[in-house]
Structure 1
Amino acid sequence: MGLRVEGLAAGYGATRVLRDFSLSVEAGEILCLLGRNGAGKTTALKAIMGLVKPSAGRVMVDGAEIATLPAEQAPLHGLGYVPQGRRLFAELSVAENLEIGLMAGDKAGRGGSAAERRAKALDLFPQLRERLQQRAGTLSGGEQQMLAIARALCLEPTVLLLDEPTEGLMPSMIARIREVTTALKDRGVAVLLVEQRVEAVLEIADRVVFVENGRSVDEVAASDLRLHPEKLQRYVGVGR
């Protein structure tokens, strides 16, 4: 169970970005994509979600093929997505943003009632309980990221895609996002994470897949990454 991607090709119009892109993430595992800017990491998440339609390849969530489905059907198969930039409804309240995730979960027939799923999401981000009636656009950057993740969790996903979840956040918020990501792993969620903070990757990821020119070109256990600083220099352009 989890996510499996095989031979994915995708792009924008005539511009191909992904070429023979493959990976797998098991339930209860955190896999991180690392690569330089423009390598294709965000496009990979969008293609898995169906927001960019693949021209070739397979995407399977818990054994179900979803690559040919419209993007709005991906959550029905337990696929949650937190995009870079959060993409919240700024004029809606925190509660109303969460309701969008709850409705998607209802359509998918996910486990538990809407109230139970909302409670589980808010248990991970108790700070949001105090702001349920506040407009999302007035939250701090860290609180907005919390809300974006909580909204996705209201679906009760089995696979969660996270695109740069700590970007622009203060250290305390970064630590909280890491804690929640680890808690989701402990709940058996398969997490695919795009993250540029190498130290964060070393602390929470199980495996790392390096992306270069739209291809998944190398894989290493996160615990072994310290032993291979040359891979960070080659694929990301940073040392440790």
Structure 2
Amino acid sequence: MTVALKLQNVDCFYGDVQVLHGFSLELRRGEVHCLLGRNGAGKTTALKAVMGLQPASAGSIAKGETELTHLPPHAVPKTGVAYVPQGRRLFAELTVAENLEIGLMARNRGAATRERVLGLFPILRERLKQRSGTLSGGEQQMLAIGRALCLEPDVLLLDEPTEGLMPAMIARIRDTLATLREEGVSTLLVEQRVDAVLPIADRVTFIENGRTGETVGVERLRREPELVHRYVGVG
């Protein structure tokens, strides 16, 4: 199986505080891979390290044959890696259309890409002239994912995408990830809620105190829920 993204022995610091300790993970092409762990375990830091937002002080981060480890943050999306941070980080005063346009600019994509994104999230077509700050939470999450998909990424990083959303919106996001998987997009998904992960993930890597725990298939996770309790602290 082709590896789309590989983190190998990555160390990361905030000042003098080490957050990632030799962290390793392999994201396979066309899979949904979840990173599960307690608050403060280093999940978000791992995503930021990939994007160059929190530079790795040791180790390697590679997308296929492309080494990302020392790229500046603005250069990483140009390699086909898109990132939807926790909290969405939309431009609240700009319209839906303007937010999507910013995504398109990152890799010089045009109308065909925008149409494809609007096809995935039809509600956004009805909101194109609306300021993004006035959207519902679920609509904002769709816009954040849609803006990321305007890059036409083959690797997508999502940080807590279901946080605070109603079940219907969570189901819509799951359906979108399933569609992207069929198209060969590889998704690395950070979550805390195992119930949000089980219906969509192919594999799960646990992270504990910045260190790699076990990587397991989702079927094993269903059979052995004690793994979740051990690493995340919930049953």
Q: Deviations over 1:8-61 (max 9, x none)?
A: 111211111001011111111011001111100011101111100110111111
Pick from 86, 89, 92: which aligns with 1:90?
A: 92
Q: Distance in 2 between matches of 1:62 and 1:180?
A: 24
Given that 2:20 and 2:46 are in contact with CA atoms closer than 8 Å, whether structure 1 keeps it comes out as yes
Q: Distance in 2 between matches of 1:94 and 1:68?
A: 32
Pick from 212, 216, 231: which aligns with 1:220?
A: 216
Q: Distance in 1 between matches of 2:13 and 2:155?
A: 23
Given that 1:3 and 1:61 are in contact with CA atoms closer than 8 Å, whether structure 2 keeps it comes out as yes
Q: Deviations over 1:156-199 (max 9, x none)?
A: 00100000000000111011011101111111001000012212
> In the alignment, what sits opposite 2:230?
234
Of stretches 147-156 and 221-230 in structure 1, the one that deviates more from structure 2 is 221-230
Pick from 1, 4, 9: which aligns with 1:2?
A: 4
> In the alignment, what sits opposite 1:74?
76
- Equivalent positions of 1:18-97 (< 5 A) are 18-97=20-99
- Equivalent positions of 1:83-232 (< 5 A) are 83-106=85-108, 113-232=109-228
TM-score by length of 2: 0.97
* Residue identity matched to 1:119: E
Given that 2:162 and 2:196 are in contact with CA atoms closer than 8 Å, whether structure 1 keeps it comes out as no
Given that 1:10 and 1:47 are in contact with CA atoms closer than 8 Å, whether structure 2 keeps it comes out as yes
Given that 2:160 and 2:191 are in contact with CA atoms closer than 8 Å, whether structure 1 keeps it comes out as yes
Q: Distance in 2 between matches of 1:220 and 1:71?
A: 30
* Residue identity matched to 2:149: L
Aligned residues between the structures? 233
Q: CA RMSD in A?
A: 0.9
Q: Which ranges in structure 2 are unaligned for 5 or more consecutive residues?
A: none
> In the alignment, what sits opposite 1:110?
none
Given that 1:11 and 1:43 are in contact with CA atoms closer than 8 Å, whether structure 2 keeps it comes out as no
> In the TM superposition, what is the alpha-carbon distance from 1:77 to its structure 2 partner?
0.4
* Residue identity matched to 1:207: R
Q: Distance in 2 between matches of 1:50 and 1:90?
A: 24
> In the TM superposition, what is the alpha-carbon distance from 1:105 to its structure 2 partner?
1.8
Given that 1:159 and 1:191 are in contact with CA atoms closer than 8 Å, whether structure 2 keeps it comes out as yes
Q: Distance in 2 between matches of 1:167 and 1:190?
A: 21
> In the TM superposition, what is the alpha-carbon distance from 1:236 to its structure 2 partner?
0.6
Q: Distance in 2 between matches of 1:99 and 1:161?
A: 20
